[in-house]
């Protein structure tokens, strides 16, 4: 079975039901399936073959969904690219992935033209909705008249997509997945969250990222649910969209929930259609979870803790667990997945001890594309070594405490940034924080907190230090507090701590 196999079935089951809606454009399941087939047949007519790589450089839209599923029906391998990257970064991904075609939206055409220079493998660039320059094809001109399914056999073991890691620690790597792996992820999400065909899903997190794409868009279309796509996240407009469309399930990164809780008079909107909320991609403090539960007036919150290389499978914290274990990353593994926390010798850690979270199962990546050394370092004896440091409590609940590369060693003591960030986030004037280690001749590294304070407010270091001392051991209390208007993030909402280290290291050393 491949991930497109239910599109034709849904077109027959409920042809007039809305499959996709975007900026006022609606596609019923019959229309969506026919358009996907028309584009797939058009791509085949200009030479796209099974197994070839096709890149998507697009913001969230109906065109993204059409392009993704059209390529999937041909058995092509899809390479979604972060639309916020610059030409040099896009050039690297296009080369490394062996892409032969690119589909981009009109406003990104210039960037793609620059990024593809010198890449002889790229035969075509297709622009949606129409080409702005004569050297590229337009989406409309590629569309075929034929609405029939492409005459291509696609099976579960055929490769489906290459998802590039978010680059929070440097150069991205391409995680390769086949159809059956992605199908396992979609099936697991359906079972965990109880997705049904009468659900209405809102897709506002970027679709080039595995969380929104694999956990929600793919299963949503497979089940025959209604999928509302937003191009960008705007707190007020997104809340209004939930009200307008009667959204039943929302997934967002913690930053989105943080903005939601700051919207004036948000409690006057009718958000009662929401039955479940998911969050992930970064740790979310207990304080923010509680505020979000109050806003949406439902306690059906799920912490979905996974990673790109996992598909994204991993662990989750159920709504019931939130009542007693809020702040934990989870206990139960995703369906088709096993998890352990191990020390450097590969042995399971004792209660309270910190080790590395590892996964194995049917949904994890096949490999890092064309990176055998990195693959061998990450996939060992069937286990995916995540690079996430975690501890396990007496009840078996797991808490992610840091990335291996982000752990601060100060005065010989290990300081895990998430614990310090959770403490800081309890302060009523702090919007968000990030804790990093910066060089220091005495301590080796300083525990350094970079803080965003509410507009118009000020905080003093003495006050913050006292606040932290009430909540943390002395060696964990930041020795330096820095203030900024915003924290650097990638398009998935993850804080890029390597950029903070680059930005502030000189300031602290000098």
8 A C-beta contact, residue 331 and residue 317: yes
Long-range Cβ contacts of 137-141 (<8 Å, 24+ apart): 137/46, 139/39, 139/63, 139/103
Q: Give the separation between CA 249 and CA 204, rounded to whole angstroms.
A: 12
**Quick one: pLDDT band at residue 404, thresholds 50, 70, 90?**
confident
Average pLDDT over every residue of 61-78: 98
Q: Given a cut of 80, is residue 421 above it in pLDDT?
A: yes
126 and 266 share one domain: no
201 and 342 share one domain: yes
The domain boundary residue, chosen from 403, 436, 465: 403
Q: Is residue 160 part of a domain?
A: no
Structural domain count, the chain: 3
338 and 442 share one domain: no
Computed on alpha carbons and rounded to an integer, the radius of gyration of the chain in Å comes to 23
pLDDT of residue 507: 45
443 and 375 share one domain: no
455 and 373 share one domain: no
Instruction: Using the structure block, give the residue that is written with the tokens 């890691």.
Output: 165
Q: Given a cut of 80, is residue 491 above it in pLDDT?
A: no
373 and 414 share one domain: no
The domain of 133 spans 7-154
What percent of the chain stands above pLDDT 70?
97
The domain boundary residue, chosen from 107, 126, 154: 154
Average pLDDT over every residue of 338-345: 95
Q: Given a cut of 50, is residue 508 above it in pLDDT?
A: no
Q: Give the separation between CA 212 and CA 491, rounded to whole angstroms.
A: 12
Range in 232-241, 254-263, 295-304 the model is least confident about: 254-263
**Quick one: pLDDT band at residue 283, thresholds 50, 70, 90?**
confident
Q: Give the separation between CA 352 and CA 396, rounded to whole angstroms.
A: 10
Residue 409, SS3 per DSSP: strand
Average pLDDT over every residue of 369-389: 95
Residue 17, SS3 per DSSP: coil
Q: Given a cut of 50, is residue 510 above it in pLDDT?
A: no
| CATH number of the domain that residue 108 is part of | 3.40.50.980
Q: Is 382 left (phi over 0), alpha (psi -120 to 50) or beta?
A: left
Q: Tokens representing 36?
A: 């996907």
Q: Is residue 467 part of a domain?
A: yes
| CATH number of the domain that residue 279 is part of | 3.40.50.12780
345 and 416 share one domain: no
Q: Given a cut of 50, is residue 226 above it in pLDDT?
A: yes
8 A C-beta contact, residue 446 and residue 507: no
Q: Give the separation between CA 121 and CA 99, rounded to whole angstroms.
A: 7
Average pLDDT over every residue of 170-181: 90
Please tell me the pTM assigned to this model. Answer: 0.86
- Reference 409, options 433, 443, 432, 380; nearest CA is 443
Q: Is residue 54 part of a domain?
A: yes
245 and 391 share one domain: yes
69 and 138 share one domain: yes
Give the H or E element holding residue 274. none
Q: Is residue 175 part of a domain?
A: no
The domain boundary residue, chosen from 344, 372, 403: 403
Q: Given a cut of 60, is residue 446 above it in pLDDT?
A: yes
Instruction: Using the structure block, give the residue that is written with the tokens 């991993």.
Output: 314
Residue spans of alpha helices (H) in 316-451: 319-325, 372-378, 417-424
209 and 351 share one domain: yes
Average pLDDT over every residue of 37-59: 98
Q: Is residue 485 part of a domain?
A: yes
| CATH number of the domain that residue 481 is part of | 3.30.300.30
Q: Is residue 274 part of a domain?
A: yes
**10 Å Cβ neighbour count for 338?**
13
Range in 17-26, 177-186, 277-286, 461-470 the model is least confident about: 277-286
Q: Is residue 125 part of a domain?
A: yes
Q: Given a cut of 70, is residue 463 above it in pLDDT?
A: yes
Q: Given a cut of 80, is residue 95 above it in pLDDT?
A: yes
446 and 356 share one domain: no
pLDDT of residue 166: 63
Q: Give the separation between CA 434 and CA 488, rounded to whole angstroms.
A: 10
pLDDT of residue 453: 95
* Arithmetic mean of pLDDT over the chain: 93
Q: Given a cut of 70, is residue 504 above it in pLDDT?
A: yes
308 and 200 share one domain: yes
Q: Given a cut of 80, is residue 211 above it in pLDDT?
A: yes
8 A C-beta contact, residue 273 and residue 248: yes
Q: What is the DSSP string of 114-151?
A: HHTTT-TT--EEEEESS-SSTTSEEHHHH--S--SPPS
Q: Given a cut of 60, is residue 170 above it in pLDDT?
A: no
Q: Is residue 178 part of a domain?
A: no
């Amino acid at each position: 079975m491949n991930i497109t196999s239910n599109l034709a079935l849904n077109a027959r089951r409920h042809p007039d039901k809305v499959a996709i809606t975007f900026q006022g454009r609606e596609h019923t399941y019959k229309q969506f399936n026919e358009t996907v087939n028309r584009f797939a047949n058009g791509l085949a007519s200009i030479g796209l073959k099974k197994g070839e790589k096709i890149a998507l450089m697009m913001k969230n839209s109906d065109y993204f969904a059409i392009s993704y599923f059209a390529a999937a029906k041909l058995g092509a391998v899809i390479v979604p690219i972060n639309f916020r990257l610059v030409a040099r970064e896009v050039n690297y991904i296009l080369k490394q992935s062996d892409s032969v075609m690119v589909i981009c939206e009109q406003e990104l055409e210039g960037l793609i033209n620059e990024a593809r220079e010198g890449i002889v493998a790229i035969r075509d660039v297709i622009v949606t909705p129409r080409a702005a320059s004569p050297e590229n094809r337009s989406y409309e001109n590629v569309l075929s008249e034929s609405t029939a399914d492409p005459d291509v056999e696609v099976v579960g073991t055929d490769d489906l997509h290459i998802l590039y890691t978010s680059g929070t620690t440097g150069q991205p790597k391409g995680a390769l997945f086949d159809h059956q792996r992605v199908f396992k992820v979609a099936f697991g999400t359906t079972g965990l969250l109880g997705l049904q065909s009468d659900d209405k899903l809102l897709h506002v997190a970027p679709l080039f990222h595995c969380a929104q794409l694999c956990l929600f868009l793919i299963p949503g279309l497979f089940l025959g649910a209604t999928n509302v796509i937003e191009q960008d996240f705007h707190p007020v407009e997104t809340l209004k969209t939930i009200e307008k469309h009667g959204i039943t399930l929302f997934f967002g990164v913690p930053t989105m929930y943080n903005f939601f809780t700051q919207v004036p008079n948000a409690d006057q909107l009718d958000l009662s259609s929401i039955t479940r909320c998911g969050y992930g991609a970064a740790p979310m403090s207990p304080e923010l979870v509680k505020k979000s539960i109050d806003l949406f007036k439902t306690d059906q919150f799920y912490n979905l803790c996974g990673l790109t290389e996992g598909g994204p499978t991993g662990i989750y914290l159920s709504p019931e667990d939130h009542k007693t274990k809020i702040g934990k990353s989870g206990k139960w593994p995703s369906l088709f997945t096993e998890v352990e926390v191990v020390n450097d010798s590969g042995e399971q850690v004792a209660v309270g001890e910190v080790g590395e979270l590892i996964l194995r199962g049917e949904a994890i990546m096949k490999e890092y594309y064309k990176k055998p050394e990195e693959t061998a370092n990450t996939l060992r004896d069937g286990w995916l070594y995540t690079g996430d440091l975690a501890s396990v409590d007496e009840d078996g609940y797991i808490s992610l405490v840091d990335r291996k590369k982000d752990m601060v060693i100060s005065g010989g003591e290990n300081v895990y940034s998430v614990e310090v960030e959770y403490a800081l986030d309890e302060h009523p004037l702090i919007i968000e924080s990030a804790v990093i280690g910066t060089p220091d001749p005495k301590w080796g590294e300083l525990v350094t907190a970079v803080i965003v304070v509410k507009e118009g407010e000020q905080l003093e270091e003495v006050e913050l230090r006292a606040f932290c001392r009430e909540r943390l051991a002395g060696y964990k209390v930041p020795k330096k507090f820095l203030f900024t208007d915003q924290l650097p993030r990638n398009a998935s909402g993850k804080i890029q701590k390597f950029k903070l280290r680059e930005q502030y290291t000189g300031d602290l050393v000098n």
